Amino acid sequence: MKFWLSIIYQSERKRLFIGLFWSLLTMLSGVGLLALSGWLITATALAGLAITAGLIVKLDMYMPGSGIRYFALSRTIGRYIERLYNHDTILRLIATYRVTIFKALSHKPLHEIRQTSDSEWLSRLTSDLDALDGILIRYTIPTLSTGLVILLVSAFLCFIWFDFAAVFFLTAALSWMLLIRLSISLTKGAAKASIAQLNSTRESLISHIKGAFVLSSQNMMDTHQTNTLDELSLFEYHHAALQKRIAKLQFITDSLFGIAQGAVLFSGLWAVNNQIIEGPTAVMLALLFIGVSELLQTIPEQFSTWGKTQYASERLKKLAVKKVETCSANIDHIKTITCKVKNLPTIPASFERKVSFTLADTKPLFITGRSGAGKSTLAKLLFKLTPAVSPNVDMKINKHSVTGISSKSLYSVCSYLEQSPSLLSGSLYYNLTLGLNNVDEQKIFDVLAKVELLEWADALPEGLNTWLGESGGQVSGGQARRLCLARLLLRNPALVVLDEPFNGLDNTMAKRIYERISPWLEARKSIILLHEVPTFVIESGVDYHHVDVDLK
């Protein structure tokens, strides 16, 4: 959590202090309102009695009266501004956190992102981020301002009754610290356990539901659900334990403070009898303490989410820690690509023989093999999407080992059409021009025509501005793949790798598209991964390289 706290301190220091000020003002006004009213009532009661007894008493009613009115007003206004201001801060913070995570992730080696991009953390990212707002609005601002209230009230009490002030300060400060520590240590474990359990329950359920097609026919949904229900019971157990702990802690805190309030009243009245302080002051002390203890009593509840926040912040920190790429080599052109793979588990054939190729010209290189043979692995190694295990893998561009080439320069000269198409939620234009500046619309229509999507795009309700992606959803798998191809055609890389570009296309369309993009392919180095070299390529008689990665 320190990591996220330090971001608050670095990026929003000023706002933190101003927010703290408003929160402090609100709390002090609340405590002051109660204490001053108590003083006023007691003072007037005693003065009234004295007057009826015939004594002459001078009591200024107006100073405390306007004090009370001031506190009433400053509390209301303070509260409003505090809430608004700190909400603004928290929104800024979460935005900063988001950018921090995004930047850090985008600097990570791609193979690390790959490992995580599919998995369940993605679905939890939002709630994890939400949990972080507790750092500011639960643990920082109210806690610090309660601490400051204790400090200021103690200082004020020093002028009235020093001994009491000392005891008050020690008790309040000590219970402030103890309460924070206790609340955290008592709930942390249970909170973490319950979240962790919730996640495994979720996984278990998803798996159960995904199995419906297999399980239902055999009438096994009921027996298979026990797994998930057991996970659920365990979650309920942890959750109940957590709530019970919080409730118990609250009970103990409240009763101790209740007794302490009695003790303060007792010592105040005792001091009056011993002529240390006046009667009104004694009541004021009691009410001051009630006000302060009400602030302290909220601590267990505030800190009960600590475990959850910590769990979230630890997970997010893993994502947000920047890794500086150590590779120093930059490339701006491609002369030769050489690849030698031996004994790599993901390429079975590499146990049989050395899988290798060298590409130094612009003749297309076909790498073929059945699915699972490791064609994509080769491409992923080249694009650093899979960590290279030396000495099994020796992949070089212009004599630089690929692992030593900076990702930025690598991706600026090499383009990769992945096997599964990926479109972002955004307009068609946005998707096609991602990472490019000022692309001419005509150029876009040209590449769309090459992949036979021009008619489709023309028929779209908003043309190039039509929204695609998750909420769009008008794109079929085959269309998405062709869009991704079109996206590459707009670029001018020195090397292009196409992974199963014709999957899901019928043979004649594949042929037409291949012929149309041939000039573009021949203008650069190209590697094409397929089950087998297509007949239309063989028949066309053009020269090509071929590497087979099947087991012999």
Partner 1 sequence: MPDMTNISGTQFLKQQIASQRPLLYRSVVFGGCASLFMIAQWLLVAFIAHSVLVDSSSLSSLWVYWLLLIVVSVVKPWLNFQQSNQAQVASAKVKRSIRSTLMTRWNNTSPVALQILSGGAIASQWIEDIEAIDGYFSRYWPQQMLAVLSPLFIIIVVAYLNWLCAVLLLVSAPLIPLFMVLVGMGAEHINEKYALLRQRLAGHFLDRIANLSTISLLGAQQTMSEEVATRGDNYRQVVMKTLKLAFLSSTVLEFFTSVAIASLAIYIGFSLYGAINWGPAQSLTLYSGLAILLLAPEFFKPLRNLSAYYHDKASAVGAANNIVASLTQLQYEEEQYGNGDARKITLSERDARLELKNLVVGYRSHLPLNKSVTAEISKRGLLVFSGDSGCGKTTLLNTLAGYLNPIAGEVNVTINSKRSIAYLPQKAWIKNASIRHNLAIAAPAANDPQMLAALEKLDLTNEITLKHQGLDTVLGEHGQGLSGGQMQRISLARVLLNPSQIILLDEPTASLDIKSKGLIYGAIEELREKAIIAISTHDPRIVSMADIHIDLTKKVKAPQ
Cβ of residue 314: shortest distance to partner 1, in angstroms? Answer: 18
Cβ of residue 84: shortest distance to partner 1, in angstroms? Answer: 6
Would you say 151 or 263 has its CB closer to partner 1?
263
Distance CA 290, CA 263 (A): 11
Distance CA 516, CA 544 (A): 17
Would you say 261 or 518 has its CB closer to partner 1?
261
Cβ of residue 77: shortest distance to partner 1, in angstroms? Answer: 8
Please give the helix or strand (H or E) that residue 416 lies within, else none. strand 414-417
Would you say 236 or 458 has its CB closer to partner 1?
236
Would you say 38 or 501 has its CB closer to partner 1?
38
Q: Whose structure tokens read 């365990």?
A: 234
Cβ of residue 250: shortest distance to partner 1, in angstroms? Answer: 7
Please give the helix or strand (H or E) that residue 216 lies within, else none. helix 212-217
Cβ of residue 21: shortest distance to partner 1, in angstroms? Answer: 18
Burial class (CB in 10 A: 0-12, 13-18, 19+), 99: exposed
Q: Supply φ then ψ for residue 135, to 5 degrees.
A: -55, -40
Would you say 61 or 174 has its CB closer to partner 1?
61
Would you say 45 or 360 has its CB closer to partner 1?
45
Structure tokens at 347: 């390429």
Cβ of residue 258: shortest distance to partner 1, in angstroms? Answer: 3
Cβ of residue 442: shortest distance to partner 1, in angstroms? Answer: 21
Structure tokens at 491: 């670029």
Cβ of residue 243: shortest distance to partner 1, in angstroms? Answer: 5
CB atoms inside a 10 Å sphere around CB 530: 19
Cα three-residue angle 131-115-209, rounded to 5 degrees: 70
CA dihedral 15, 19, 22, 24 (to 10 degrees): -130
Distance CA 76, CA 82 (A): 10
Would you say 18 or 158 has its CB closer to partner 1?
18
Cβ of residue 326: shortest distance to partner 1, in angstroms? Answer: 17
Cβ of residue 151: shortest distance to partner 1, in angstroms? Answer: 24
Cβ of residue 483: shortest distance to partner 1, in angstroms? Answer: 12
Would you say 20 or 43 has its CB closer to partner 1?
43
Distance CA 224, CA 212 (A): 10
CA distances from 152 to 157, 170, 452 (A): 9, 13, 75
3-class secondary-structure state, position 548:
strand
Cβ of residue 216: shortest distance to partner 1, in angstroms? Answer: 5
Would you say 363 or 443 has its CB closer to partner 1?
443
Would you say 348 or 387 has its CB closer to partner 1?
348
Amino acid at 296: L
Cβ of residue 113: shortest distance to partner 1, in angstroms? Answer: 5
Cβ-Cβ contacts under 8 Å for 386 (sequence gap 6 or more): 111, 114, 346, 377, 380
CB atoms inside a 10 Å sphere around CB 242: 23
Please check whether residue 497 is in contact with residue 402, taking contact to mean a CB–CB distance below 8 angstroms: no
CB atoms inside a 10 Å sphere around CB 276: 16
Cβ of residue 388: shortest distance to partner 1, in angstroms? Answer: 17
Amino acid at 52: T
3-class secondary-structure state, position 160:
coil
Closest CA to 164 of 27, 37, 30, 265: 265
Please check whether residue 348 is in contact with residue 551, taking contact to mean a CB–CB distance below 8 angstroms: yes
Please check whether residue 520 is in contact with residue 489, taking contact to mean a CB–CB distance below 8 angstroms: yes
Q: Whose structure tokens read 């002028």?
A: 159
Would you say 165 or 497 has its CB closer to partner 1?
497
Would you say 239 or 363 has its CB closer to partner 1?
239
Query: DSSP letter at 63?
Result: H
Closest CA to 506 of 468, 447, 452: 452
470-477: long-range pairs with CB below 8 Å, 24+: 470/425, 471/425, 472/425, 475/423, 477/421, 477/504
Would you say 170 or 259 has its CB closer to partner 1?
259
3-class secondary-structure state, position 401:
strand
Q: Whose structure tokens read 């198409």?
A: 421
Distance CA 466, CA 428 (A): 6
Would you say 207 or 465 has its CB closer to partner 1?
207
